[in-house]
Amino acid sequence: MKKMLSVQKIILSLSLATSMLGATTAATPASGIQAGATARQTTKRQSSTIQENDELTWISTDNGVGIEVKMRGKVQFNEDYTDILSISDGGWVRIKDDRKGPARRLEITPTSGGGFERSYRVNGESRPYDEDAGRWLATVLLDAVRQGGFDASNRVKKIFSQRGAAGVLEEISLLRSDYVKGLYFKGLFKATTLDSASVQRVLREVTREMSSDYEKAQVLMAIAGTYLNDDATRTAYLDAVGTVKSDYERGRVLSALLKNPDLNNKILTHTLKTAAAISSDYEKAQLLMKMGEGKMRDNGVRLAYLETAGSIDSSYERARVLLALLGRNDLEQEATLLVVKSAMNISSDYEKARVLIQVAEMYASDEKVRTALTDAARTIDSSYERGRVLSATHK
């Protein structure tokens, strides 16, 4: 069955020099290329996939020597990706291979009769395109497909139809680039509807196979909108989120989870515990602010929220989070007292006063809350701010 190359929008985080001599460090992404695509890089091996306009490029080098495959337009492969069947008008395929053996160059362009012309050179000399050239091309194409992510969506569908989800996961284990692994994981979710047990298995494989926080987050967010329909899957999802080290990416993934309208109190509490590991006060506060706006009627969830808020060092960010919770206007006494206690640990007198005054205006009629507010006011060094709090408390 013929497969059409579907050129994907590819985000680039590590770009290589386009020279076949390679580079030892990542270059600044070129203009017009979105930042973020993953390339697995070591001191010896570098690999990147880049799309710019309608051109798709895969470059792989080892110790500065490697291969470059570039394609423009729509390219049709044969069934086993060992040859090219057709190229759209104006398109082409260009290959430079300086790996072990002779230096090879191949350019394939379409002809007016519906076929195409192959220009093949070995060590700079023109050669006929023979069986040896065909065997070489077959190896190059499979590398470009497997390691460069060419035609990933169609290839995942084909593997799934032949060997199921297990076959796709087996193929993913053979890939080096986290970016390409991500394409295959996301392609698997689009190729079929997986049951809960299969989704949980895939989530475990995501954490095992992928090291890039960005690419892992991309996969997890793709799952969040479709497959988190039961507690077992949501728990496995949160376990996977726990392996994301980047504060920004972890926050993004948890935010995607919170869009699910059917999260129960157990999952919300688990989400808050996962959020507590975010070290950035800003990112943690952003997530808690979103949670504060959502469903948090359970007192246990609110207590978990306040415990996580207590891990925020920034006076401004902690105040923002506590004020967001107070804005719900439905706190029970225990949660209100914990808000006051958390506010007492705010170092800024101004921010502390902001929170305590808000509590006073809403809950000072409760004797225990009023007593707690009075005690908290004594921790304010500024006479002006302390007076404001006491005045609001004892109106």
> What is the reported pLDDT for 44?
66
> Rounded to the nearest 10 degrees, how much is the dihedral formed by the CA atoms of 272, 275, 277, 281?
-120
Provide the pLDDT for residue 318. Answer: 96
User: Virtual CA dihedral for 281, 282, 286, 292, nearest 10 degrees?
Assistant: 40
**H or E segment and range at residue 283:** helix 281-293
pLDDT at 40: 43
pLDDT in tens, 41-80: 444 668 788 888 888 899 988 877 899 999 999 888 988 8
CA distance readout (Å), 23 to 30, 95, 134: 15, 19, 30
Integer Rg of the chain from CA: 28
Alpha carbon distance 345, 334 (integer Å):
17
- What is the signed CA dihedral for 44, 7, 9, 247, rounded to 10 degrees? -50
pTM of this prediction? 0.72
Joined together, the tokens standing for residue 115 give 């076929």
> Which pLDDT value is given to residue 16?
32
Q: Which residues of the chain have pLDDT under 70?
A: 1-45, 294-295
